[in-house]
Structure 1
Amino acid sequence: MEASSSSPSSSSSVTVATGDRFRLHDRLELLEFADKYVVKSFESPNRGFSISREDGDIQPLDGADVDPPVRPYRTSTIYGVAGTIRLVAGTYILVITSQKEVGEFLGFPVFRVMSMQFLPCNEALKFSTSEEKRDEAYFMNLLRIVESTPGLYYSYDTDITLNLQRRCKLTDGWMAKPIWKQADPRFVWNRNLLEDLIEAKLDEFVIPLLQGSFGVAELKLKDTPVTLTLISRRCTRRLGTRMWRRGANLQGDTANSIETEQLLETEGFRSSFLQFRGSVPLLWEQIVDLSYKPRLRIIDNEQTPKVVERHFLDLSQRYGDVVAVDLTDKHGDEGLLSAAYANEMKTLPSVRYCSFDFHHFCSNSNFDKLQILYDQVSEDFEKQG
C-alpha cells in the first residue's frame, strides 16, 4: 500500500574539477592503546583523531599521536567511522571493518558496507552499579543488531543521498563542501551518530551512510552503450518494521518512505526518473497479532486533512508535480482505508489521485494488466518528460 509520485526527468551533466571536489579519507589505520584509539589516514598520517577510552572524548591528532612514543598493542585497517553513540556508562565508536565496491554513481565509486564493529570507550563502566551494568549489557545487545544492518552504501568522492534532479539546481561550488553538508538529511542513516565527529570539525572523516539498494547494469539501446543505475534511498523519518509502523505522523511523514531513482546515462546524456513510495498518508495503524493479515484501524482525528496536506505539500516542494497512485485492495479493511484516502484527496486539487486495485488486476502474476494503470498516468508521464 503506497502513495507514489514521479518527478520530471532531467538531462544534464554534473562535472566538477577534482581540485574543487571534497573527498573523504578512504583507508584508515586504527591504532589501539590502553587509554585511547587513534584513527589516521594512510595517505596523510598527520590527519586523524583520537578517542579516549575513558570517556569517549574526541581530539584531532597532535604530534604525540602522529608519532607515538609507545607502540599500540593492536593495529588494523578500517574503511571509515560511521559515528559514535553514548550509552549508560560510556561511548562506543562504530567503524567500518570491510566494504565492497558495487558500481559508480555519476562517475564516482560507490561502496557497500560489508561489516561494522562498535569499539567501547567505557572504562567508567567498572565504577557503575550492578543495575547500570545490566542496562549497559542490554543496550550492547541492541548495538550488535546495528552492526549487522543490511543495505548500507556510501562514497568517498560524492554524496549519494542527493538525486541528479536536485544536483542540477545546485550552485557552483556545492561539491566543494564537506560531503555531510551536501547530503539530504532525510536519507542519512547515521545522521545522529555523526554529531560528535561534526562537532570536532573532522569533516574529512564524516561519512553519511545511505540505507537502501544500489545496482548498475551495462546495456545497449540498438548499438549505443547505456549505463542504467537504480538507487533506492530509505527515509529516516518514521522508520519501523512492516505492520508495526503504518500511516503518517502529524507532520505528514509516512512510514517507510523510499525514494527510488532510475539513472540512464549514454554518450554524455543523463536522465533521472524518480518515484517516492510510502504508507498511505492517513492516521492509521495495524495491530499485530497471530493472524495472517492483522486488522487495521483508521484513527479518527480532526488533524487528518492537515496531515494529508502537509505530506503532499512536502512532496510537491521537493519534486514538483505529483501523481498519487493508490495501490490498495478495494475490499475489506484495505477498502475502507482506500475510500478514506480517496475522500481526503478530493480536497487537494493540486495533486492528481489515481486508484488502481493492484491485488485485483495483477493477481496470479497478471502483470500485463499494468497497462491499465499506465493508460491512466501516461499523459502525466508525457507532461513530466
Structure 2
Amino acid sequence: MELFQTDLHYILLDGEHSLWCSRTTGKLEPKKGNDLANAWNPVCVGQVYGVIGKVKLHPDSEWRLLLIKQRSLACKLAGQHIYKISKIAVLPLNSTDVASDLDLELCKKHHFGMRKSEKTNQSNDNSQMSLRGTWNSIKSVAENVKSKKKETKDKEKFEKRILEELLKMYNDSDFFYYSDDFDLTNSLQRQNSATYDKTLPLWKRTDDRFFWNKHMLLELMEADDPLSEHWMMPVIQGYVQMETCLMDFDEDRMSSQSDMSSSVDYSSQKLEPLSYKISIISRRSRHRAGTRSRTRGINSDGACANYVETEQ
C-alpha cells in the first residue's frame, strides 16, 4: 500500500482501491485506484500496511490519520494471515506538515523520498523595516494576546501528551492485531454458528465489543459506500500466538514401561511422533477498559471492567 502526497490530499493506493484524505477538511473519500491519474502531481512518500482510522487529539485541533507503519506476522490461522502491529505513523491532515517526516519505508515502485521545500530568506534590511513598522501595533495588543497565547500553549501541551500516549500504546505494547480476511473479533464457535453470515463484509460481521478502532472509522461506515469496505479493517487489542508441538509416543512409552512391570513387550512397535499446532487468541473488550484502580465492577449495560475473552 503506497502513500502519495499532493497539495490538497494524501492518497492511499492499494491495487484497485484508493483513499483520498483531504488536507484542508480531513474528509476521507474512497475512490477507485485508477483515479490517482486525476491527482495533480502526486508524489509517493512511502509504504504503509493499513489504515487504523482518524482521530482528533483536541476538539479544536486538526484530524490525524493513523497508519500501520510496521507489522510482523503473528501466525497463519485457517489459511489467513494474522499480523501484529509493531509501529504506527500519525499523519496530520493539514497543508503545512509533510508526510516525509514520518520516515516511512520506501515502496518498491518508487525509490525516492519527498523533497523538502526550500525557504527563501529575506534580506536583513527588509526584516528590520517590517519590524519597525509593526512594533507599535504589537505593543498595543500585547495584553490581549497573552491570554490567547496561554490557551494555545495549553492546547499544544495537551495534544503533545495525548500523541505521546497514543504512540506509546501502539508502538510499545505489542498488543494490537489485525487480519485482512480473518475475523479476530469473533471466536471460531460464533463464526460457525447459524447466525453468522460469512457473505457480509468483514467489518459488518465483527463483535462490537472487540472492534477497537470502530470509532475511528465511523466516517467511512456512515458514508455507506461500497468502496469504503476495503478500508475498514477491524483491529483488536489482545494477544495471538501459535506454537508447533511434538508428541513423541516412543519416549512416553519407554518412561511408562520403566515405572510398571508388564509381560507385553511393545518395544518392537514403532510409532511416529505426532506434530500438531496449538493457538491461543485473547481479545479485550473496548467497553470500560482501563486501569484496575479506576475501572472496576460491572455497569448497568452489563459491561464488565477489562473483560477479556480467550479461546484456544
Which position in structure 2 is the counterpart of 1:188?
Answer: 211
Which position in structure 1 is the counterpart of 2:201?
Answer: 178
Which position in structure 1 is the counterpart of 2:6?
Answer: 33
- 1:90–1:121 contact (8 Å) kept in structure 2: yes
Determine if the alignment matches structure 1 residue 224 to structure 2 residue 248. no
Distance 1:133 1:119 in 2: 21
Which position in structure 2 is the counterpart of 1:60?
Answer: 30
Structure 2 residues without counterparts, runs of 5 or longer: 98-147, 250-272
- 1:84–1:196 contact (8 Å) kept in structure 2: no
Which position in structure 2 is the counterpart of 1:354?
Answer: none
- 1:187–1:235 contact (8 Å) kept in structure 2: yes
Selected match of 2:284 from 215, 224, 234: 234
TM-score (norm 1): 0.55
Distance 1:82 1:98 in 2: 13
Selected match of 1:213 from 222, 234, 239: 239
The amino acid of 1:229's aligned partner reads S
How far did residue 140 of structure 1 move?
Answer: 4.1
Count of residues in Structure 1 that have an aligned counterpart in Structure 2: 228
Distance 1:145 1:113 in 2: 16
- 1:116–1:148 contact (8 Å) kept in structure 2: no
SS at match of 1:34: coil
Distance 2:44 2:193 in 1: 47
1:170–1:96 distance in 2 versus 1, CA, 3 Å: farther
Which position in structure 1 is the counterpart of 2:164?
Answer: 144
1:64–1:212 distance in 2 versus 1, CA, 3 Å: closer
Distance 1:37 1:136 in 2: 24
Distance 1:205 1:193 in 2: 12
Comparing 66-75 with 187-196, greater Cα deviation is found at: 66-75
Structure 1 residues without counterparts, runs of 5 or longer: 1-27, 263-385
- 1:115–1:148 contact (8 Å) kept in structure 2: no
- 1:103–1:111 contact (8 Å) kept in structure 2: yes
Distance 2:38 2:47 in 1: 18
Determine if the alignment matches structure 1 residue 90 to structure 2 residue 62. yes
Which position in structure 2 is the counterpart of 1:160?
Answer: 184
Q: Which structure has the larger Rg over C-alpha atoms? A: 2
Distance 2:163 2:21 in 1: 19
- 2:2–2:44 contact (8 Å) kept in structure 1: no
How far did residue 243 of structure 1 move?
Answer: 2.0
Which position in structure 2 is the counterpart of 1:104?
Answer: 76
How far did residue 70 of structure 1 move?
Answer: 3.5
Identity fraction in percent:
29
How far did residue 112 of structure 1 move?
Answer: 0.3
1:65–1:219 distance in 2 versus 1, CA, 3 Å: same
- 1:31–1:39 contact (8 Å) kept in structure 2: yes
TM-score (norm 2): 0.67
1:166–1:134 distance in 2 versus 1, CA, 3 Å: same
